[in-house]
């Protein structure tokens, strides 16, 4: 049997967000029903040759009554799972307790249990009925504490959950990084011995997928940088006047091509990291307006240490040319070696990025040309901005949404 995990719990405790995060594909999240889950939905997660199922389920609605029904006949521990099956086969129970019927069905069909609770809400005994019902199923189980808004009650939850579950983990579905994701999959592998081998292959497949994304990101970044830096537009015309009149057209075409190339790379990265539904809010980086915005310096080329070193500059620079010049040079990493500090206010102005030339041709006529990139700082600065985009994609775990992206090429 393919490993299957039913994600269960109280309503609105982040079950669906756990499913969408573990799926690592926001198309799963979008295909999930919006709002409160009412029927169980199964999602096949494929990674390489590895395969498992995640099942999003409705929340418990009337667990005490369901537990009372289960307990109305005395049964020994070895008969409890049969009693849960009897509950599912009882038409009256299915009508009276539709949510519990929906969530228990995949478990009794063989799925392991991932019981999700929210550590921002206090523990209370009302949850005990839920956990007791799950214990009656006899299926392998694990509890996940999902800190939806805070970790205030984690200790209380751990104390309580450890009495019902052998494995208790904290898993922040919104903040979880890839290592936490892999650790959780490794814990799954220990839940049920027959699944151990296939889940270990799944962990290997996730690691391979991460490595593939890293290598592919390198190639995308390298091709993009080289394309942007080397690109040029040229056009031959009969005379110099025509060549001059052609320059604005060529310039527009040049920047249009650059923008499209950048957007293509962003699209490819989004696909690579499976953020198919993520929208981008592209914000132009304009140095003149943001010269003293240290947060943007950081994106342009300064790391935290460097920012700390120039921490006083933002306040001091407003009236001082010296500081203004230094502010420019701190961004213009490439000019330091050459000793030339350029005009900071226009360092990435559209007209300053690339060379424009008119050239007489040996056999008559003229050629108008724009490009390649002449701004020495562009590769370093652009590399930083591109990295910020990759880091944002890696850290996004919530489905859909809007990602703010700083674009140099507007």
List residues near other proteins by CB under 8 A: 211, 214-215, 217-219, 221-223, 225-226, 229-230, 303, 305-306, 309-310, 312-313, 316-317, 322-323, 326, 330, 333-334, 336-337, 372-373, 375-380, 383-384, 387-388, 390-391
Q: How far is the CB of 196 from other proteins (least distance, A)?
A: 28
Q: How far is the CB of 366 from other proteins (least distance, A)?
A: 23
Q: How far is the CB of 340 from other proteins (least distance, A)?
A: 13
Q: Residue 171 or residue 300: which is nearer to other proteins going by CB?
A: 300
Rounded Cα distance, 154 and 162, in Å = 12
Q: Are strands 354-360 and 366-373 parallel, antiparallel or unpaired?
A: antiparallel
Q: Residue 193 or residue 303: which is nearer to other proteins going by CB?
A: 303
Q: How far is the CB of 319 from other proteins (least distance, A)?
A: 13
Q: Residue 16 or residue 381: which is nearer to other proteins going by CB?
A: 381
Query: Dihedral of CA 283/287/290/295: which sign?
Result: positive
Q: How far is the CB of 337 from other proteins (least distance, A)?
A: 7
Rounded Cα distance, 10 and 59, in Å = 5
Rounded Cα distance, 96 and 88, in Å = 11
Q: How far is the CB of 135 from other proteins (least distance, A)?
A: 40
Q: How far is the CB of 40 from other proteins (least distance, A)?
A: 37
Q: Residue 173 or residue 317: which is nearer to other proteins going by CB?
A: 317
Q: Rounded to a whole number, what is the distance in angstroms from the first to the last CA of the chain?
A: 53
Q: How far is the CB of 376 from other proteins (least distance, A)?
A: 4
Rounded Cα distance, 228 and 240, in Å = 28
State which H helix or E strand residue 50 sits in.
Answer: strand 50-56
Look up tokens 């394309």; give the residue. Answer: 227
Q: Residue 148 or residue 229: which is nearer to other proteins going by CB?
A: 229
Contact status, residue 172 vs residue 179, Cβ threshold 8 Å:
no
Which is nearest to 182 in space by CA: 160, 200, 158, 164? 200
Rounded Cα distance, 264 and 258, in Å = 10
Which is nearest to 371 in space by CA: 281, 221, 253? 253
Q: Residue 166 or residue 374: which is nearer to other proteins going by CB?
A: 374
Q: Residue 296 or residue 384: which is nearer to other proteins going by CB?
A: 384
Q: Residue 109 or residue 326: which is nearer to other proteins going by CB?
A: 326
- Under DSSP, the state recorded for 58 is P
**What are the CA-CA distances from residue 393 to residues 109, 228, 271 (Å)?**
36, 22, 10
């Amino acid at each position: 049997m393919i490993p299957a995990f039913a994600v269960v719990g109280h309503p609105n405790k982040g079950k669906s967000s756990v499913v969408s995060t573990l799926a690592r594909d926001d198309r799963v999240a979008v295909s999930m029903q919006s709002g409160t889950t009412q029927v169980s939905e199964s999602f096949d997660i494929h990674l390489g040759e590895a395969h498992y199922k995640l099942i999003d389920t409705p929340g418990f609605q009337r667990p005490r009554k369901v537990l009372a029904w289960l307990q109305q006949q005395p049964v020994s521990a070895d008969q409890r799972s049969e009693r849960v099956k009897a509950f599912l086969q009882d038409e009256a129970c299915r009508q009276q307790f539709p949510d519990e019927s929906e969530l228990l069905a995949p478990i009794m069909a063989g799925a392991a249990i991932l019981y999700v609770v929210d550590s921002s809400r206090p523990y209370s005994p009302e949850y005990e009925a839920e956990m007791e019902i799950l214990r009656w199923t006899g299926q392998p189980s694990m509890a996940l504490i999902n800190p939806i808004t805070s970790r205030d009650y984690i200790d209380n939850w751990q104390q309580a959950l450890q009495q019902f579950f052998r494995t208790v983990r904290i898993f922040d579905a919104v903040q979880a990084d890839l290592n936490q994701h892999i650790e959780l999959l490794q814990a799954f592998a220990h839940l049920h011995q027959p699944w151990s081998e296939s889940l270990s292959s799944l962990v290997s497949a996730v690691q391979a997928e991460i490595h593939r994304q890293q290598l592919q990101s390198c190639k995308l970044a390298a091709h993009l940088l080289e394309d942007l830096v080397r690109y040029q537009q040229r056009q031959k015309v009969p005379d110099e006047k025509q060549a001059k009149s052609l320059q604005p057209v060529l310039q527009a075409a040049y920047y249009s091509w650059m923008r499209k190339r950048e957007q293509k790379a962003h699209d490819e990265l989004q696909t690579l990291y499976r953020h198919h539904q993520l929208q981008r809010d592209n914000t132009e980086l304009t140095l003149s307006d943001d010269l003293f915005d240290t947060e943007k310096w950081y994106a342009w080329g300064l790391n935290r240490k460097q920012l700390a070193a120039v921490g006083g500059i933002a306040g001091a620079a407003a009236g001082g040319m010296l500081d203004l010049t230094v502010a420019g040079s701190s961004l213009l990493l490439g000019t330091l070696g050459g000793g030339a500090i350029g005009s900071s206010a226009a360092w990435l102005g559209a007209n300053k990025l690339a060379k424009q030339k008119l050239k007489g041709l040996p056999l008559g006529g003229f050629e108008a040309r724009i490009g390649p990139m002449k701004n020495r700082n562009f590769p370093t600065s652009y590399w930083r901005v591109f990295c910020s985009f990759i880091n944002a994609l890696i850290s996004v775990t919530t489905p859909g949404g809007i990602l703010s992206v700083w674009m140099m090429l507007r």
